[in-house]
Amino acid sequence: MSPLFPTESAPPANEQLEEGAWLLRGFATPDVPALITEISHIHEVSPFRHLVTPSGHTMSVAMTNCGRVGWVSDRRGYRYDPIDPDTAQPWPPFPALFLDLAARAAEAAGFPHYVPDACLINRYVPSAKLSLHQDKDENDAYAPIVSVSIGLAATFQWGGRRRADPVRRMLLESGDIVVWGGPARFVYHGVSPLKPGEHPLTGPTRLNLTFRKVF
Ligand code: MD6
Ligand code: FE
């Protein structure tokens, strides 16, 4: 017999955005509560902060990192640094769950044996945004970036290889993972200003993990 509520019983559909890029809907949903606990531990060691861009603009998204290096920005430029400039200590190590989740998601998108060495953690409050950009500060130009969305949903902007290419918009909800690498590695992307809301686990906040293979 067909289900009474067919749309509710359908599993979330994964979507190939283009060659090398997948949206894995709900992939991290079972892990979201534990991910939030790990992020709060990282925040106790290396707190979220608003970085300044080389042009002197203070970013609306607050950031921290874990792993052997962390992504930082200041007036001198963007770089990966093994030391947190705010604490003068190494970044917190990867929680085992982070490595396991990133490897499982990368494999599901066709990138087996994924071992990232950095995880940038972004925190958005309403109106925080990330302008269209490429991730190109990593030496490895093939390994994917694995991006995990937690908490309030956000509109993700998915462009092309040139800044002026058309931009597609999609909603990323808590538990969704985007993986892109190989031929899609340098696609322009961004996050539209976060809309106000209340999430049962994160309140008025969106968190995002982006794993990178830097070396
Ligand atoms: C975010 N993400 O979703 C910001 N970069 O909060 C990114 O900038 C990003 O999601 C590279 C690959 C995936 C991403
Ligand atoms: Fe990015």
Name which residue sits closest to atom 10 of ligand 1, judged by CA. 147
pTM of the model: 0.94
pLDDT of res. 83: 98
Ligand 1 pocket residue status of 143, Cβ below 6 Å: no
Q: How confident is the model at residue 13 (pLDDT cuts 50, 70, 90)?
A: confident
Using one digit for the tens of pLDDT, what is the confidence trace for 54-91? 999 999 999 999 999 999 999 999 999 999 999 999 99
Tens digit of pLDDT for each residue in 148-177? 999 999 999 999 999 999 999 999 999 999
Average pLDDT over residues 133-156: 96
DSSP 8-state class, residue 203: B
What are the tokens at 20? 């090398």
Q: Report residue 8's pLDDT band, with 50, 70 and 90 as the boundaries.
A: low
Closest to 111 measured CA to CA, from 11, 22, 17: 22
Report the separation in Å between the CA atom of 188 and the middle of ligand 2, taken as the mean of its atom positions.
Answer: 8
Residue 11 has pLDDT above 80, yes or no: no
Confidence of residue 9 (pLDDT cuts 50, 70, 90): low
pLDDT digits (tens, 9 = 90+) for 170-193: 999 999 999 999 999 999 999 999
Instruction: Please name each of the domains of the chain with its CATH number.
Output: 14-212 (2.60.120.590)
- What is the radius of gyration, based on Cα positions, of the chain? 17
Q: Tell me, using a 6 A CB cutoff, whether residue 130 lines ligand 1.
A: yes
